[in-house]
């Protein structure tokens, strides 16, 4: 297959051949590296997030373009998209959620195992978008707690990747005790989730 022609006229030279994730703060010595457990676990988790693409409409097609080879979400660790909630970390809700679909989103969220994150991709998932109607849920944060919102209608693949990178920041900096904390429990209770 012939390589497609690039339409970027200005060539940017590669600065480094391989980029590595930066080391967290810690103490180094001959043959050892000491840091906090939080940072190591955060580093491991954030570079291997397995998303659950909950694609309902147009944003789903942009997600397909993001997973394609041009924009390639897989290089950020999201190589394996799963459709089984138990095996996934990140619920990516992409597209309009109607009131009929609300209970289904909630059900899928409840079935996910901790730690779990939610990203609302697109204007419709964030706030109802252009569909201010009787049948559309005005944002999925009416039914599930959301971590990152990506605006756009549909957001460009670069924006979706940016959203996933923000999730990576959240994952990397999260304390290991957050899921058992009072604050988190209160958040879930406000959604009616025990």
Partner 1 sequence: MSEQHIKLPEGSIEKTTTTLNLGPTHPATHGVMQNILELDGERIVSADQTIGYIHRAFEKLAERRPLAQITTLTDRLNYCSAPLNNMGWHMTCEKLLGVQTPKRVDYLRVIMMELARISDHLICNSIMGVDAGAYTGFLYVMQYRELIYEIYEEVCGARLTTNMGRIGGFERNFTDKAFQKLEKFLEEYPPALKEFENMFQRNRIFMDRTMGVGGIAAERALNYGFTGPNLRAAGVDYDVRVQNPYSSYQDFDFIIPVGSTGDCYDRWLVREQEMWQSLSILRQAYQKIQSFKGAEADVYHADTPAYYLPEKKDVYTKMEALIYHFKIIMGETEIPVGEVYHSIEAGNGELGFYLISDGGRSPYRLHFRRPCFIYYQAYEELVKDSMLSDAIMTMSSLNLIAGEMDA
Partner 2 sequence: MALTNDTIQQRLQEKFGESVSAFRDSHGMLEFSAPRELNLKVLNFLYDDATLQFQFLTDLTGVHYPSNKGNELAVVYHLHSLKQNSRLRFKVFAPIENPEVYTATGLFSAANWMERETYDFFGILFVGHPKLKRILNVDEMDYFPLRKEFPLEDQTRIDKDDEMFGRGGTIK
Residues that bind partner 1 (CB under 8 A): 1-2, 4-5, 7, 53-58, 60-62, 64-65, 68-70, 83, 95-96, 98, 100-101, 104, 108, 130-131, 133-136, 153-154, 156
Residue 58 binds which entry of partner 2, partner 1, none, CB below 5-8 Å type-dependent: partner 1
Our measurement of the distance from residue 59's CA atom to the centroid of its chain's CA atoms, rounded to an integer in Å, reads 14
Q: Is residue 57 a contact point for partner 2 (CB under 8 A)?
A: no
Residue 126 binds which entry of partner 1, partner 2, none, CB below 5-8 Å type-dependent: none
Q: 111 vs 138, which CB is nearer to partner 2?
A: 138
Q: 44 vs 153, which CB is nearer to partner 1?
A: 153
Cβ proximity of 45 and 176 under 8 Å: no
Cβ proximity of 126 and 39 under 8 Å: no
* Calpha distance 119→92 (Å, rounded): 5
Closest alpha carbon to 92 in 115, 72, 113, 63: 63
Q: Which of residues 103-132 bind partner 2 (CB under 8 A)?
A: 127-128, 132
Q: Cα dihedral sign for 89, 51, 83, 149? A: positive
Q: Minimal distance in Å, beta carbon 41 to partner 1?
A: 29
Q: Could you tell me the CA-to-CA distances from 88 to 81, 91, 176 in Å, in that order?
A: 8, 7, 18
Residue 139 binds which entry of partner 1, partner 2, none, CB below 5-8 Å type-dependent: partner 2
Beta bridge partner(s), residue 121: 94, 150
The residues that touch partner 2, with contacts defined as CB under 8 A, are 99-100, 127-128, 132-136, 138-139
């Amino acid at each position: 297959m012939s390589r497609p022609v690039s339409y970027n006229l200005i060539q940017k030279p590669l600065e480094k051949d391989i980029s590595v994730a930066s080391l967290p703060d810690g103490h180094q010595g001959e043959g050892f590296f000491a840091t906090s457990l939080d940072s190591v676990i955060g580093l491991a988790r954030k570079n291997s997030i397995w998303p659950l693409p909950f694609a309902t409409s147009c944003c789903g097609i942009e997600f397909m373009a993001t997973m394609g080879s041009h924009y390639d979400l897989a290089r950020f660790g999201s190589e394996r998209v799963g459709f089984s909630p138990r095996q996934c970390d990140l619920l990516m809700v992409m597209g309009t959620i109607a009131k009929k679909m609300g209970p289904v989103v909630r059900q899928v969220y409840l079935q996910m195992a901790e730690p779990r994150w939610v990203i609302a991709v697109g204007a419709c998932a964030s706030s109802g978008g252009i569909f201010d109607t009787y049948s559309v849920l005005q944002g999925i944060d009416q039914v599930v707690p959301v971590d990152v919102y990506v605006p756009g209608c549909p957001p460009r693949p670069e924006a979706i990747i940016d959203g996933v990178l923000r999730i990576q920041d959240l994952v990397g900096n999260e304390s290991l005790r957050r899921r058992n904390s009072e604050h988190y429990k209160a958040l879930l209770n406000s959604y009616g989730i025990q």
